[in-house]
Amino acid sequence: MDDFKEHATDRGAQSQFGSIIFRFKKNKLAVFGFFFLAALALIVLTAPLYLDYSKAIRQNISQQFQSPSWKHPFGTDVFGRDLLARVIYGGRISLFAGLGVVLCDLSFGMLLGGVAGYFGGRVDQIIMRFTDIFMAVPSILLALAVVTALGEGTFNLIIALMIATVPRTSRIVRSSILTLRNQEFIEAAKCYGTSNARIIIKHILPNSIGPVVVTATLSLGSAILNIAALGFLGVGISPPTPEWGTILADNRQNILYYPYLGIIPGLAIGLSVMCVNFIGDGLRDALDPKMKK
């Protein structure tokens, strides 16, 4: 019995976390994505400090369609508004509304999925029926319907998108917990007397966090895309609030002659989502011990 003690090492949560960070750092794309996104978030977050909001909405028709120059680094749009200012303030909406959607999504998703997975039985059945119902229609349709009801506004947009995404997230959380519950190491832990609380904290949570984090990161990407799409459609955000999608919608007729009006906002959306995807992908690889490489 004594020989075993010296062989067993305590690979606690600490060293596991460290090795995850290590693997993540090895992924160049993921690291690039992380820093680029952090930079974007910083620029956008601190905007009120260095950029006056009025610049984003003040119209000046005489200045319309100016190509990018020193004065207007991104040029001006159809109403003569400075595009750089609009893109930066638009980023606040896109990125932080996106974040809002993901946080709400995660909270409710983990709550519902966790309850369903852990308690099982009738509770599980009821929650699953609910998710079935909400997953019966494509999420954009659902979001559209909710926005129809609630009206325009960023907050309503977040609620609508959250309703559209929580069902899927709760399913992922639930299946993650179900798989874990049935694994042999949980049975083994029970066999030598580990309490339920300890099992949840030490075994189930650390192992289920992984897929959930990856899903959350990737759904941030979808959220940003959905917000932009809904903005483009003219649903959700009302003028003159800038948002990357609405900027594209405003200038749609003129992109042919002034390409920068289309390329720059599109690039903003694409780059942010790309960074998020790189990060999510890097996280997924870092969390998977048997990497497929």
Partner 1 sequence: MLRYILKRILLIIPVVIGITFFIYIVLALAPGDPVSLMLGSDATSEQLAAMRHQLGMDQNVIVRYLLYMKTVLSGDFCTSWLNGRPVFNEFLQRIPHTFALAVNSLIITIVFGLSMGIFAAARQNTPVDNITLVFALVFSSIPTFWCGLMFQIVFALKLGWLPSMGVGSIRHMILPALTLSMISLAGQVRMTRSSMLDVINMDYIRTARAKGASEFRVIMRHAVRNGLLPVVTNLGILFANAFGGAIVTETVFAIPGIGVYMINAAKARDVPIVMGVIIFVAIIVAVINLLTDLIYAFIDPRVKMGYMS
- State the residues that interact with partner 1 by CB under 8 A: 29, 129-130, 132-134, 136-141, 144-151, 221, 225, 228-229, 232-235, 245, 248, 252, 255-256, 262, 265-266, 269-271, 273-274, 276-278, 281, 292-293
Residue among 36 and 118 whose Cβ is closer to partner 1: 36
- Which residue do the tokens 């609910």 mark? 130
Task: Compute the least distance from the CB of residue 48 to partner 1, in Å.
Answer: 26
How many CB atoms neighbour CB 284 within 10 A? 18
Which amino acid type is present at position 26? K
Residue among 204 and 225 whose Cβ is closer to partner 1: 225
Task: Compute the least distance from the CB of residue 173 to partner 1, in Å.
Answer: 18
User: CB of 124 within 8 A of CB of 117?
Assistant: yes
Half-sphere CA count of 106, side-chain side, radius 13 A:
19
How far apart, in Å, are the Cα atoms of 274 and each of 5, 28, 44, 192, 229?
48, 14, 17, 46, 16
Q: Left if phi > 0, otherwise alpha if psi is -120 to 50, otherwise beta: which for 153? A: left
Task: Compute the least distance from the CB of residue 107 to partner 1, in Å.
Answer: 20
Residue among 29 and 111 whose Cβ is closer to partner 1: 29
Residue among 204 and 264 whose Cβ is closer to partner 1: 264
Residue among 242 and 245 whose Cβ is closer to partner 1: 245
Half-sphere CA count of 265, side-chain side, radius 13 A:
34
Half-sphere CA count of 39, side-chain side, radius 13 A:
9
Task: Compute the least distance from the CB of residue 269 to partner 1, in Å.
Answer: 5
Task: Compute the least distance from the CB of residue 72 to partner 1, in Å.
Answer: 22
